[in-house]
Structure 1
Amino acid sequence: MCELYASQTPELYQVTKKSIRIQGAVTSLALEYKVWLILEKIAAQEHTTLAQFISTLHQESIERHGKVTNLASLLRISCLTYLENCT
């Protein structure tokens, strides 16, 4: 039943930390390797760097909603939204 999901290599869901500068402040984000890959793909399609994409997404989310309470979750959901819209 879950063969497709269970057969994923553990490296894809290993959590990796990266430091990103957002509006002049450095923050550390811990995300799964696969999430980082998808974010890099999105950034490339937007013709920007990963750091700039995340910073822009963060700023635009603040402008729309007043704050970002969980940036890691926003990034994961952004990846899911991207994947949903690719099909």
Structure 2
Amino acid sequence: MCNLYSGQDPASYETVKRSIRLNGHVTSVALERQFWDILERLAATEGFSLAQFLARLHDELLNRHGDVGNFSSLLRVACTIYLSRGETPSDETAAAA
């Protein structure tokens, strides 16, 4: 069982920090590379670039809750929701496991 998890490529869980523009301000978000890959696919599924998707999601959070809180955590959970809806990791990611 543990080989599935411990055998993955360390690059997949390397933390990657990206600069993004939200509400006209530049900020950075740090996520593991695997989450960035999933977010890229999620954004494409919704018909957006990653930057557009993140900005729209951030705006919707502000409108709905008045505050964003921990945006990185929200993005990780968004990825799990996306995957639980039947999306699967790419063939390349699955092969690394």
Give the TM-score band, short-chain normalised: over 0.9
The unaligned stretches of length 5 or more in structure 1 are none
**Could you tell me how far 1:63 is from its partner in structure 2?**
1.4
Taking structure 1 as the reference length, what is the TM-score of the superposition?
0.94
Structure 1 match to 2:36:
36
**Could you tell me how far 1:23 is from its partner in structure 2?**
1.2
Does 1 or 2 have the higher relative contact order (CA < 8 Å, sep 6+)? 2
Q: Please tell me the root mean square deviation across aligned C-alpha atoms, in Å.
A: 1.0
**Could you tell me how far 1:86 is from its partner in structure 2?**
1.5
Whether 2:66 is the aligned partner of 1:66: answer yes
Taking structure 2 as the reference length, what is the TM-score of the superposition?
0.85
The unaligned stretches of length 5 or more in structure 2 are 88-97
Q: Show CA shifts across 1:37-82 (max 9, x none).
A: 0000011111111011001111111211221110100100000110
SS of the residue corresponding to residue 86 of structure 1 reads coil
Aligned length: 87
